[in-house]
Amino acid sequence: MVTGAAVVGAGIWFAVAGGGGSPAPPPSASPSPTHSPTPPPPSPTPVVNPLTGQGPGGHVLAVKIDNVGDAQFQQSGLNSADLVYVIQVEGGLSRYLVVFDSSHAPARVGPVRSARQTDIPLLAPYGRVGFAYSGSISGLKPDLAAANLQLINPIQHSNLFSNGGSAPTYIRPGQIFSTFPNLAQTKDVGFRFGPEPAGGAGASSVRAKMPAAAFTFTASGAKWLVSVDGHAVSTIDAGQANADNVIIQHVHVVPGKYTDHNAGHADNEVFSQTTGQGGADFYRDGKVWHGQWSKPNDNAPTSYTVGGKPMNLAPGRTWIVLEG
């Protein structure tokens, strides 16, 4: 005979009378404890090279490369560069300041030539990177020594240069990165990458001039093939030099602080002012956009804009011509 019932939580239990005994106690209503699994840590965000917008970045080395006469046919490493700056020097000629990172540096770079006043503020935003060059005029040496750069030249490190530094001389980036493991790593110096902005006009070629040098960049698919003084820049290690982006950065070219007397006569150095602001033309994907560049001080990143908005470059290598 059922003599009583009780409700516990959402379950029902019954007690049956018999022999005057007490009803059996209900089973525990407490659920077994449960524990939420610890979520796995988030995957690290891949570090994308801020100089190219693709692949990982590494430690940074800048190299001054000759671009006059026979040197134009002896160049190595240009197609492994992150960035190539084209700089006017004395006599209206040109030199390259080429930036590499250790994640994909080439076996050999050169021919290496001398430093210029323009190099110092141009490299300032990169931090304490390596700067390989063959020498400099005497007046510039104190400025180089005071700069936040790891100086790499044959006087101090002849073992790092082929021929002991005698021209033509080359360096091996792998050897330099091993010798100087604490060089600054890639950092944001102002470049932005992404889909092309609206408003670009079709462009099949780019021309830029210096008083004694002429450059042409010809569209070939998404690339720009590089020619200098009417002939293709054919590197000895990787075919014709090419770029994914070309920036013509309009700057003031003014008399430099020092005069070069090394050739037995006075050569007036020139200085390209990359701190300040001015116009810029941006070429990518067979199109051109006209905009501005701005750099408020030597150590600041350079801002590249079109219509007041950042100019997106195509991921890859960029050539920047400092045209006066």
Dig out the tokens for 50 from the structure. 């801020």
Residue 15: predicted pLDDT = 36
Angstrom distance (rounded) from CA 44 to CA 106: 28
Phi, psi of 220 (to 5 degrees): -140, 90
Residue 109 in contact with residue 100, Cβ under 8 Å? yes
Specify the pTM.
0.85
Structure confidence at residue 267 (pLDDT): 77
pLDDT at residue 6, rounded to an integer: 39
CA distance 294 to 131: 24
Q: Which of 142, 99, 88, 96 is nearest to 256 (CA)?
A: 88
Q: Are strands 11-16 and 267-273 parallel, antiparallel or unpaired?
A: unpaired
pLDDT at 41: 57
Q: Are 236 and 66 in contact (CB under 8 A)?
A: no
Q: Which of 109, 115, 100 is nearest to 61 (CA)?
A: 100
DSSP annotation of 2: E
- pLDDT for residue 63: 98
DSSP letter for 171, please.
Answer: B
| Interatomic CA distance for residues 165 and 277, integer angstroms | 37
pLDDT string in tens for the chain (324-residue length):
434 433 333 333 333 333 444 444 444 444 444 455 565 555 444 579 999 999 999 999 999 999 999 999 999 999 999 999 999 999 999 999 999 999 999 999 999 999 999 999 999 999 999 999 999 999 999 999 999 999 999 999 999 999 989 999 999 999 999 999 999 999 999 999 999 999 999 999 999 999 999 999 999 999 999 999 999 998 999 899 999 999 999 999 999 998 877 767 777 899 999 999 999 999 999 999 999 999 999 999 999 999 999 999 999 999 999 999
> Percent of the chain scored above 90 by pLDDT?
80
- The count of residues in the chain is 324
Among candidate residues 107, 238, 131, the one with its CA nearest the CA of residue 183: 131
Residues 99-149 pLDDT 10s: 999 999 999 999 999 999 999 999 999 999 999 999 999 999 999 999 999
In what helix (H) or strand (E) does residue 284 lie, and over which residues does it extend?
strand 276-284
* Rounded Cα–Cα distance for residues 101 and 269 (Å): 29
